[in-house]
């Protein structure tokens, strides 16, 4: 049995669904452009630089979910998929996932972006398993807070190992394991798998991958 792990934003997607969701809400007039656009850009730059405070960001990203009914959010998300996401789902990324699925590998998208934004994207890629940051819910509605450990940096390992345990697995259950990622933020998990793959990597990850002799590839 083999394990194929995929980061989502700027890896399988040629863009960032977290960033684009906030931009979509601004374009819809749901969020005030003057107040939110600059903050969204700032958080995105901090993420790329490896300096993001994940809890500060999640407070920004999850609060809007708590202000609207779930059925309204779901309708917006359908439009978000049509206008923003599908254009970021390239053929090379779809083919990579399809190859692992055809080989019978256990396929998992593991992402810091919250599961409300990412679950429909994972389904569109045909990936059964999603490990994402979980927004807290009460009676089916979002509270604006995070539930459990954010799926970010070392938190990805924590969440992945908990998910493995729920299936009766551990690292030794898999003859081979891959993790495809673009980001320096994913170095903790990249260092855990047997076959780390840098996908269209940022400068820090590219330098590390070249030093370590990791595979570097593009999906663009």
Active-site residue flag, 9: yes
What are the residue boundaries of the structural domains of the chain, listed by start? 2-217
Query: Facing residues of 3 across strands?
Result: 106, 177
Tokens for 56, please give them: 């500060």
Residue 41: pLDDT band with limits 50, 70, 90: confident
Question: Which class does domain 2-217 fall in?
Answer: alpha beta
pLDDT digits (tens, 9 = 90+) for 80-116: 999 999 999 999 999 999 999 999 999 999 999 999 9
From the candidates 9, 18, 186, 202, give the one annotated as an active-site residue.
9
- pLDDT of residue 59 exceeding 90: no
Active-site residue flag, 7: yes
Rounded to 10 degrees, the C-alpha dihedral 155/161/166/169 comes to: 160
Q: What's the pTM?
A: 0.95
User: Is-contact 5 157, C-beta < 8 A?
Assistant: no
| Buried/exposed 33-59: b ≥16 CB within 10 Å, e otherwise | eeebeeebeebbeebbeeebebeebbe
pLDDT digits (tens, 9 = 90+) for 202-220: 999 999 999 999 999 999 9
pLDDT digits (tens, 9 = 90+) for 148-196: 999 999 999 999 999 999 999 999 999 999 999 999 999 999 999 999 9
User: Is-contact 25 129, C-beta < 8 A?
Assistant: no
Residue 145's CB is within 10 A of a number of other CB atoms, namely 15
């Amino acid at each position: 049995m083999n394990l194929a792990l995929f980061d989502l934003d700027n890896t399988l997607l040629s863009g960032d669904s977290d960033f684009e969701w906030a931009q979509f809400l601004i374009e819809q007039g749901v969020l005030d452009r003057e107040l939110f656009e600059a903050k969204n850009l700032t958080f995105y730059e901090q993420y790329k630089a490896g300096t993001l405070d994940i809890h500060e960001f999640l407070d920004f990203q999850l609060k809007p979910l708590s202000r609207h009914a779930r059925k309204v959010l779901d309708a917006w998300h359908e439009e978000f998929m049509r206008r923003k996401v599908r254009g970021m789902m390239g053929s090379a990324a779809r083919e990579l996932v399809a190859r692992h699925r055809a080989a019978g590998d256990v396929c998992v998208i593991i992402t810091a972006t919250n599961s409300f934004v990412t679950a429909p994207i994972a389904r569109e890629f045909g990936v059964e398993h999603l490990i994402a940051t979980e927004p807290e819910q009460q009676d089916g509605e979002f509270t604006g807070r995070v539930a459990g450990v954010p799926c970010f940096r070392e938190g990805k390992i924590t969440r992945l190992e908990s998910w493995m345990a729920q299936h009766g697995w551990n690292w030794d259950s898999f003859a081979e394991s891959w993790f495809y990622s673009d980001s320096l933020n994913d170095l903790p998990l990249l260092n855990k798998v047997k076959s780390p793959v840098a996908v269209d990597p940022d400068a820090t990850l590219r330098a590390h991958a070249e030093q370590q002799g990791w595979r570097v590839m593009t999906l663009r």
